[in-house]
Structure 1
Amino acid sequence: MARKLYNPFLDFKFDNQTCFLTGDALVSADEQIQVFPVWMMRAFGLEESPFKMLDENIVTYKSLKLPCSVDAAQAIGIMDDAVEQAIEQGYHGVRELPQELLFQWVGRILYGVVFNEIQAGVKQALISGGDMNFSQALVHKFRNLHTMLQSLILPMEFEHKNPFTILVLPVDNPADTFNYRDEINTLIFSLRMKDFAIIATLQDNGTNAIYHEEVLEKVKDHVLHPIQFEEICARYFYTAYLFNRLPEYTFMETPQKVFVEPMPLNDWTLKPIFDNWQAKTYGQVLENFWKPWGFTLFEIIKNPEQPMTFIADESGAFRVIEDIPKQ
């Protein structure tokens, strides 16, 4: 393994003359890739669609790019092609993809958004003449994500357990559906399209899947109505917010490969891994996810002990939905 791990956060190098993944110097402005795969943008007409940045500025999907060396672009292209072929087959094709490959695909998009957010923040700091205010906790998460993403170009083994979990669910979506969400502070991602949807939690060591085990067991082997998936998605985004650990990983470089080992999440404080679930706060998250169907917070938490749900019926069995539009 000749190549070494690259850490752009050491000197905060996020210019367009350095490959985002390898740190190699670039010789041409043409050495760049799109954050969102070209085939996806074309399939859903996203090139000129608006994308809101954290500073409230609106850019287009097509304008989000990453400086990228030829070698790194080739590796990303191979990964993209494999995912594109699986997505053409729909849910069953995507479900068969290895978790690591899905992580690389999701991670490239999410880190690409992060990279563009950082570039925008650096530019704004230069204009204002002040320092860029950047949380060290976020630097820690983004550095870990970037290091793991280098599995695209370096042999890498995730020991004992994956730091990430990619959930793929079958959903009865309208044909033209494309619904993308991310939350870079908590490193969670969702995408709903064709006949499936994805939820990715990128640095929780699988704990969200354990937290939501009961609801995941309830929907197992069922094709979901979009409103049911959005409910699961709201639960995941909320618990990603409640997750109160900053995961640590050891990265051991050897001549053969990089070994990645998650450190235990339990700490000396003995605090639970997740903060307490608050029905009203969850209801506010769910209201946002259910906007297409117009349910209000008042309706959702009318009974605070049992917020509104479309996952289960009154008997606790999976609820088959036939009377709500798919939107």
Structure 2
Amino acid sequence: MGEIIEENKLTGLFEKIHNKKYDSTNCFLCGTDLNDKNRTDEHVFPRWLQTELDLWNQHITLLNGTTIFYRSLKIPCCSECNNKYLSTIENNIKKAFNGGYEEFIKIDENILFLWLVKIYYGILYKEMFVLMNRAKPDDGTIIPEKFIKDMKVLNLFLQEIRGKHRCVNFKPASIFILKLQHDDTDLMKWDFADRIATNFLSIRMRDIGIIAVLDDMHTTKDVCAIDDFYKINLHPIQFNELCAIIFYRSLLLNRTPFFASVQKEDQEYVETYLHPLQGFSAKSIFDDWDHNNFKESLSAFTGYPLDELLKNENMVMSWIHDEKMNVKEIPIREYRFTRFDQEIKGD
């Protein structure tokens, strides 16, 4: 996660973020005090998406291993943020989703970025209210308040939803959109994963696959050669392999982004500028790839045991390429894959 160099300390939006309360009595987005007149609940995963993909009665697994209904994954929000700003984002995403992959790839990447950050940040925000161990309340919540408060970069980026922030001449995230195979069974039309180590998330919804590293300044996308992945309609396990590749690559980033954020007296929004990631060092901004380490990521995303994945020191099992590095087409149910500790096997 990057660090912000604030040129105008504790003024304007910076002051509001610094003094923001992270509890159920304040809007998660703007921080305003909530009361009976302006209080609403914001669904982290929007209601329209839960309806479309039958998620209402399904569970999502939280960081401590407990589960919660998607319908219960809600965070405090004021009516203005919910009905004015967030609804605009949702309407754009819904329209693109309804058009399938071919329409979804046309979406404004910045709108998609804000939607993804809202989901990722929203889950962590919810976990700030959920006990780590219900039998031991003194153990605290899954996510401590300090963790959320320290997410200053994503918190600041989120303010663009309200027109209060702009990234100047840089893209904050690496976002990949892939075309997928799917059917109408629950396991085949939806999946979600996130990893707080690199602010990573992936979403599989019908024929649309999204993978994102939310604050790597586009570096992972710059170095990932994945053209082959766009040549086919990916089987879910191929999508999971790509998730493992991108997540592991993001782990290898060895630079911490630094930003200069400025709010001028005559403007309501903050402008953020990125300092060059390369800096004065000639060293690559990514550490070397290690197949032995990568297999742990691949195992986590595919559900395959570690000892089955490493063929030799130079080759890891792949569902995308054969041994000659040709792209493979896989029928929808030929290979098993896992989600939420459930398993699908070939017919």
TM-score (norm 1): 0.85
Change (3 A) 1:25 1:285: same
The aligned counterpart of 2:157 is 148
User: Aligned ranges for residues 78-157 of structure 1 at < 5 Å?
Assistant: 78-120=88-130, 127-128=137-138, 140=150, 142-157=151-166
Q: 1:67 aligns with which of 70, 73, 76?
A: 76
SS in 1 for 2:212: strand
Q: Secondary structure at the match of 2:239?
A: helix
How far 1:131 moved relative to its partner? 11
Q: CA deviation at 1:114?
A: 1.5
Q: Which residue of 1 aligns with 2:217?
A: 205
Does structure 2 retain, via aligned residues, the 8 Å contact 1:6–1:21? Answer: no
2:30 maps to 22
Aligned residue number for residue 278 of structure 2: 266
Bigger mean CA deviation after superposition, 154-163 or 106-115:
154-163
Check the 8 A contact 1:172/1:226 in 2, yes or no: yes
Q: What is the distance in 2 between the residues matched to 1:78 and 1:135?
A: 28
Please say if residues 131 and 137 of structure 2, whose CA atoms lie closer than 8 Å, have aligned partners that are also in contact: no
Deviations along 1:105-164, one digit per CA (max 9) or x if unpaired, are 11111110121123337999x942889996988754x21101111101125332221111
CA distance in 2, matches of 1:258, 1:10: 14
Which is strand-richer, 1 or 2? Answer: 2
1:244 shift after superposition: 3.0
Percent identity of paired positions between Structure 1 and Structure 2: 27
CA offsets 1:194-223 (integer angstroms, 9 cap, x no match): 11200011110111112312xx12223432
| Count of matched residue pairs | 318
Kindly provide the amino acid, as one letter, of the partner of residue 211 in structure 2: I
Residue 80 of structure 1 deviates from its aligned partner by 0.5
Unpaired stretches in structure 2, ≥5 consecutive residues: 1-10, 337-343
Q: Does 1:185 align with 2:194?
A: no
Q: After the TM superposition, which of the residue ranges 246-255 and 66-75 deviates more from structure 2?
A: 246-255
Residue 314 (structure 2) pairs with residue 314 (structure 1): no
Deviations 1:213-244 (A, max 9, x none): 2xx12223432222221111111122223323
Change (3 A) 1:127 1:279: same
CA deviation digits over 1:234-280, x for unaligned, max 9?
11122223323332222222334432222222356665423332222
Question: How far apart in 2 are the matches of 1:122 and 1:221?
Answer: 43
For 1:167-186, what aligned pairs fall within 5 Å after superposition?
167-176=176-185, 177-186=189-198
Secondary structure of the residue aligned to 1:5 is: helix
Asked if 1:5 corresponds to 2:2, the answer is: no
